[in-house]
Amino acid sequence: MREFLVEITTTVPEGTSQDEVDRRRAAEAVRARELAADGHLARLWRPVGELRSIGIWRAADEHELHGKVLGTLPLRPWMTVTVTALEPHPNDPGPTGDTSRR
């Protein structure tokens, strides 16, 4: 699977009921756990003081990322998404700081 840096800003449409917002947010949490269990959502952060998220997501390609991964998020219709495809850097120490790959 390839890795992608995904930045997401969610804007609730004006006039949306709080019940609808709460329902979608609860469903979003469930779906995020499923995508993490499937290996698609690797990490997710929220910048301090901001209402957006930055994450590392995995998919075979951008088509799968947009359609079968991000497209399945309940909040997706309210999201603005920026995707950057990533590739390993030769100086990346890896997830555990292992430098033997160099």
pTM exceeds 0.95: no
Percentage of the residues of the chain whose pLDDT score is greater than 90: 87
Q: Which domains does the chain have, with CATH numbers?
A: 2-86 (3.30.70.1060)
Strands 79-86, 41-45: pairing is unpaired
DSSP summary character for residue 67 = I
Mean pLDDT of the chain: 93
Segment 38-60, tens digit of pLDDT: 999 999 999 999 889 999 999 99
Residue 95 has a pLDDT of 74
What pLDDT does 60 receive? 98
Count Cα atoms within 13 angstroms, Cβ side, for 6: 25
Cα separation, 9 vs 53, whole angstroms: 7
pLDDT bracket for residue 94 (50, 70, 90): confident
